[in-house]
Amino acid sequence: MATSDVRRILVTGATGKQGGAVVRALLAQPPSFPHEILILTRKSTSTSAQKLAENPKVKIIEGNLENVPAIFEAAGGKDSVWAVFLVTMPSMKKLQPGVVDKEVAQGRAMFDAALENSVKHFVFSSVDRGGDEKSWSNPTPTPHFITKHDIELYIREKSNASQMSYTILRPVAFMDNYMPGIIGRIFAAAWAQMGSKKLQLVSTRDIGIMAAKALSEPDSEDFKNKAISVAGDEITQAEGDEAMWQAKGRPMIQSYWFIVSFLKWMVSDVGIMFRWFEEEGYGADLEKCKRLNPNMMDFKTWLAEESKHQ
């Protein structure tokens, strides 16, 4: 088989939650075409990177989004990468009028480099802001939602004038936020403060599966030039607590509420986000997600099968 026949898929954030989930999903359900997975990591010798690279389908690319041209050079230059999965990290800095945020700059740079290097399909992990259609016109007041919205609009506008197609995935709140330890306890308490307001949730495993499907079926009507909000459950914290009882035989442990209130005050981005959850909230179509991935996990299933809670 000629090297040119192999489609190379570049996965950013490959040692993180979302990128790692994409790699594992591609390995578990490989695309039907010849392929190689290029995993981008800051440190090629890291344990997590080396573990992924044990599979012969995986090749490590050392680099980061602060030097995007070097990523494609390391991958082999123009025409070497067939598809890209991009996940960006919020800068968590106050947005300044007229100043391009670091996350936005990195997202735009990665997309531009993909165009310049003749990438055929681009998958971006963003965030839901009220549903598949509403999200296009709703940046929300939450700063790290606004930056994702900015990148989305850039992708859509520039894709329309190119031969590269795209899929934008818009996950809701991560089930994985409820991890053992203080972070999970704070998340549970903040969720409880929402009272009877339901919160949409998704596992990072299912984000990875959805991204892998988009990378494997880029010409599908479900994924080509589409934006999809991704969720597996929609429940209140009280219902989440009941799921915890059923899955693990105990309640969700929460931090003290004053700690959550202090965090919302100290980290304004978090406070604004939870206020948006209460006043507006996510709007993913759960039935559509289930059609695209019949094995989407609800919160109880995630607690039983994926979480590290004992």
Q: Do residues 9 and 26 lie in contact, with contact meaning Cβ atoms separated by under 8 Å?
A: yes
- Other residues' Cβ atoms within 10 Å of the Cβ of residue 23: 27
Domain regions of the chain by residue span: 3-172+204-230+284-292
Burial class (CB in 10 A: 0-12, 13-18, 19+), 253: middle
Tell me the CATH number of domain 3-172+204-230+284-292, given options 3.10.20.30, 3.40.50.12780, 3.40.50.720, 3.40.50.300: 3.40.50.720
List, for residues 14-56, the tens digit of each pLDDT value. 999 999 999 999 999 999 999 999 999 999 899 999 999 999 9
Q: Is 213 helix (H, G, I), strand (E, B) or coil?
A: helix
Q: What is the mean pLDDT of the chain?
A: 94
pLDDT at 4: 66
Which pLDDT belongs to residue 2?
44
Q: Is the pLDDT of residue 286 over 50?
A: yes
DSSP-derived pairing of the beta strands 83-87 and 7-11: parallel
Contact 129, 135 (CB under 8 A): yes
Categorise residue 281: left if φ over 0, alpha if ψ from -120 to 50, beta otherwise.
left
Angle in degrees, CA 122, 11, 22, rounded to 5: 95
pLDDT above 50: residue 117: yes
Select, from the ranges 49-53, 156-160, 171-175, the one with the highest average predicted confidence (pLDDT): 171-175
Q: What distance in Å separates the CA atoms of residue 56 and residue 54, rounded to the nearest whole number?
A: 6
Counting every residue written for the chain, the total comes to: 310
Mean predicted confidence (pLDDT) in 143-152: 97
Question: How buried is residue 157: exposed, middle or buried, by Cβ count under 10 Å (0-12/13-18/19+)?
Answer: exposed
| 67 has a pLDDT exceeding 60 | yes
For residues 268 and 299, the model is more confident at 299
Q: What is the pLDDT of residues 192-208, one digit of tens each?
A: 999 999 999 999 999 99
CA distances from residue 190 to 103, 183, 235 in whole angstroms, order as listed:
26, 11, 14
> What is the tens place of the pLDDT at every residue in 174-232?
999 999 999 999 999 999 999 999 999 999 999 999 999 999 999 999 999 999 999 99
Residues ≥6 apart with Cβ < 8 Å to 213: 222, 223, 292, 293
Q: Is the dihedral of CA 188, 189, 190, 193 positive or negative?
A: positive
59 vs 161: which has the higher pLDDT:
59
Give the integer Cα–Cα distance in Å for 194 and 198: 8
Residue 275 to residues 14, 95, 129, 240, 281, Cα–Cα distance (Å) = 31, 18, 13, 19, 9
pLDDT at 259 over 60: yes
Cβ atoms of 128 and 230 within 8 Å: the answer is yes
Question: Model-level pTM?
Answer: 0.95
pLDDT of the residue at 1 = 41
Return the SS3 of 147. helix
Residue 149, pLDDT above cutoff 60: yes
Looking at residue 3, its pLDDT comes to 54
pLDDT digits (tens, 9 = 90+) for 233-253: 999 999 999 999 999 999 999
74 Cβ neighbours under 8 A, 6+ residues apart: 61, 62, 63
* Largest CA-CA distance found in the chain, in angstroms, rounded: 62
Residue 14 CB partners (closer than 8 Å, separation 6+) = 20, 22, 23, 39, 40, 41, 49, 52
CA distance linking residue 240 with residue 10, whole number of Å:
36
Q: What does the pLDDT read at residue 98?
A: 79
